[in-house]
């Protein structure tokens, strides 16, 4: 008789959902090609957004700065001060819902919400670092024009707007004059990693986010950013890859099925294979197909058939506690079905870890550094999915060691608490030509 493990493995192989179905050399080559195309302004699924942020500047200390972290589900606001050792001290922290998360929001209400979130700290500093976890084209002045919403945020009227200008102009009307810089969360994470790893001689820096969405940032030589003509070729800057939109990774027919049911089919294909907004939903698509193909007994198949939604958090709790956690732990079903469900969900996490390792590896390799074991590349990895999902972080780190190790490239992970806020604060304090962003 075939056991649950063999059944699950055969199913995963048939649907090309298992790690051995991924040819990592092909995926890495495709990443490199798309990165090169994005840097030169050719058609590419990777936007490769220049940030005008250097990682070379020292952090001024004892100067307060307001930091904002507009993430997938929440907005966090705080003030920060760095001490002479570069240690950040955080104060006046508040946490709010991300406008447009869950239900649709008008343009007016969207900005009004941010103004309300910022008013309590608005007088505490004239400098703001604004971490914004969505694809935005950055202007040389440090504002960001929203290119598209990801993570199912619903505020369509805001697309195409300069986010910072719209918020800080409204605050100006209330008497507050801020100089601000807007940056992607991967860039904040990269900068926070740099400050956390300050004592070490790293060759370069990479930021990864794997939370509700996913993306990477790394440091590129200006001379390779040929789509811009006004850069000093001797300098370097952080690049926001927008790797969640990578569309050259082979997908399973079930990835395609999930994608078709999202608000933005065809966009962010890679993100939909690995990030927190989608892993639960993808698991449900996979489990429903397994039930249709009679991999489960009657009670197990009914339990899955009844489900209309499954979150990444629920999958994670089930993996941690398969005989007790909702929704499968408490349902009436054979333990062999529970074991099969667990094996399938765990395989999707394993694939997410492998693809995350490839995502990081692509950024590390593109930096062109890390060949000297004494000067590895610093990888700062953040996000709830990365840190909280059972086994994901450990497996990613193991896979990354294999992928980079076999190429003779050295890396090291660092972690910094409150990375998005800390990195935003660093960007605010170190931005070039600090002053007003726009002539008013
Ligand atoms: C966004 C990126 C962001 C990533 C991680 C993606 O959905 O497009 O800009 O960095 O999520 O938060």
209 CB under 6 A from ligand 1? yes
Q: Is the Cβ–Cβ distance between 181 and 144 less than 8 Å?
A: no
Residue 1: predicted pLDDT? 55
244 CB near ligand 1 (under 6 Å): yes
- Residues 216, 363 contacting (CB under 8 angstroms): yes
C-alpha 49/C-alpha 271 separation (Å) is: 17
| Helix, strand or coil, per DSSP, at residue 97 | strand
**Beta carbons of 88 and 418 less than 8 angstroms apart:** yes
- The CA-atom distances, in angstroms, between 162 and each of 22, 230, 238, 435 are 39, 21, 20, 18
Which two three-digit tokens encode residue 35?
A: 């990165």
H or E segment and range at residue 291: helix 276-292
Element (H, E) at 273: helix 271-274
CB atoms closer than 10 angstroms to residue 413: 18
Residue 259, C-beta contacts closer than 8 angstroms, at least 6 positions apart: 251, 265, 266, 269, 272
Q: Output the CA–CA distances (angstroms, integers) from residue 265 to 152, 268, 290, 329, in the order listed.
A: 11, 8, 23, 32
CB 393, CB 208: distance < 8 Å: no
What pLDDT shows up at residue 439?
Answer: 31
Ligand 1: atom nearest CA of 271 is: 7
User: What is the Å distance from ligand 1's center to 420 Cα?
Assistant: 12
Give dist(CA 213, CA 209) in Å, integer: 7
Phi, psi of 89 (to 5 degrees): -120, 120
What is the CA(184)–ligand 1 centre distance, in A? 8
**In this structure, what DSSP letter does residue 101 have?**
S
Q: How many other CB atoms sit within 10 Å of the CB of residue 23? A: 10
State if residue 133 touches ligand 1 by the CB under 6 angstroms criterion.
yes
Residue-wise pLDDT tens for the chain (440 aa)?
A: 568 889 999 999 999 999 999 999 999 999 999 999 999 999 999 999 999 999 988 889 999 999 999 998 999 999 999 998 888 999 999 999 999 999 999 999 999 999 999 999 999 999 999 999 999 999 999 999 999 999 889 999 999 999 999 999 999 999 999 999 999 999 999 999 988 766 688 999 999 999 999 999 999 999 999 999 989 999 999 999 999 999 999 999 999 999 999 989 999 999 999 999 999 999 999 999 999 999 999 888 998 998 999 999 999 999 998 888 778 766 678 889 999 999 999 999 999 999 999 999 999 999 999 999 999 999 999 999 999 999 999 999 999 999 999 999 999 999 888 999 999 999 999 985 443 343 32
d(CA 352, CA 391): 11
| Ligand 1 near 350 CB (within 6 A) | no
Q: How far apart (Å, rounded) are the C-alpha atoms in residues 31 and 89?
A: 38
Residues 110 and 96: beta-carbon distance below 8 Å: no
67: region left, alpha or beta (phi > 0 left; psi from -120 to 50 alpha): beta
Cα–Cα distance, 52 to 139 (Å, whole number)? 8
What pTM was estimated for this model as a whole?
0.94
Rounded distance from Cα 298 to ligand 1 centre (Å): 40
Nearest CA to ligand 1 atom 6: 213
What are the DSSP E strand ranges found in 38-178?
49-50, 65-70, 74-82, 88-97, 127-132, 136-138, 144-146
How many whole angstroms separate alpha carbon 277 and alpha carbon 271? 9
Give pLDDT, residue 84: 87
Mutation probe of ligand 1 site: the residue of 206, 215, 273 with most atoms within 8 A of C-beta: 215
Token readout for 181 is 């810089």
- The secondary structure of residue 222, as a DSSP letter, is G
- From 100, 150, 153, 383, the mutation candidate for ligand 1 (largest count of ligand atoms within 8 A of CB) is 150
């Amino acid at each position: 008789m075939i056991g649950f493990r063999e059944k699950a493995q055969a199913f995963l192989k048939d649907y090309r959902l298992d790690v051995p179905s991924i040819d990592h050399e092909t995926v890495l080559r495709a990443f490199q090609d798309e990165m090169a195309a994005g840097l030169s302004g050719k058609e590419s699924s990777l936007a490769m957004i220049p940030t005008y942020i250097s990682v070379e500047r020292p952090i001024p200390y004892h100067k307060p700065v307001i930091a904002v972290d507009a993430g997938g589900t929440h907005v966090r606001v705080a003030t920060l001060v760095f001490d002479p050792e570069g240690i950040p001290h955080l104060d006046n922290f508040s946490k709010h819902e991300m406008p447009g998360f869950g239900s649709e929001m008008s343009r007016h209400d969207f900005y009004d919400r941010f103004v309300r979130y910022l008013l309590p700290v608005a007088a505490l500093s004239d400098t703001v670092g604004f971490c914004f976890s969505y694809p935005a084209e950055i202007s040389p002045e440090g504002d960001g024009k929203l290119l598209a919403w990801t993570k199912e945020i619903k505020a369509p009227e805001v697309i195409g707007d300069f986010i910072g200008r719209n918020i800080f102009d409204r605050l100006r009307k209330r008497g507050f004059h801020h100089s601000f810089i807007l940056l992607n969360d991967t860039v904040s994470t990269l900068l926070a990693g740099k400050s956390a790893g300050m004592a070490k001689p790293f060759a370069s820096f990479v930021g990864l986010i794997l939370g509700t969405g996913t993306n990477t940032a790394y440091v590129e030589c200006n001379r390779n950013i040929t789509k811009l003509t006004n850069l000093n070729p001797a300098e370097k800057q952080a690049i926001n890859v927008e790797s969640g939109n990578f569309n050259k990774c082979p997908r399973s027919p079930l990835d395609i099925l999930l994608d078709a049911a999202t608000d933005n089919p065809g966009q962010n294909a890679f993100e939909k294979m690995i990030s927190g907004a989608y892993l639960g939903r993808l698991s449900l698509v996979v489990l429903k197909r397994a039930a249709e193909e009679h991999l489960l007994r009657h009670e197990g198949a009914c339990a899955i058939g009844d489900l209309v939604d499954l979150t990444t958090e629920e999958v994670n709790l089930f993996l941690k506690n398969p005989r007790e956690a909702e929704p499968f732990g408490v349902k009436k079903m054979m333990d062999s079905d529970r074991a099969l469900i667990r094996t399938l969900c765990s395989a999707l996490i394993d694939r997410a870890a492998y693809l995350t390792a490839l995502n990081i590896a692509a950024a590390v390799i593109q930096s062109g550094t890390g060949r000297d074991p004494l000067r590895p590349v610093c990888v700062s990895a953040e996000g709830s999915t990365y840190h909280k999902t059972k086994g994901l972080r450990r497996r990613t780190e193991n896979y990354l060691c294999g992928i980079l190790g076999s190429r003779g490239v050295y890396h090291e992970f660092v972690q910094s608490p409150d990375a998005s806020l800390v990195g935003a604060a660093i960007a605010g304090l170190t931005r070039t030509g600090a002053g007003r962003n726009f002539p008013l």
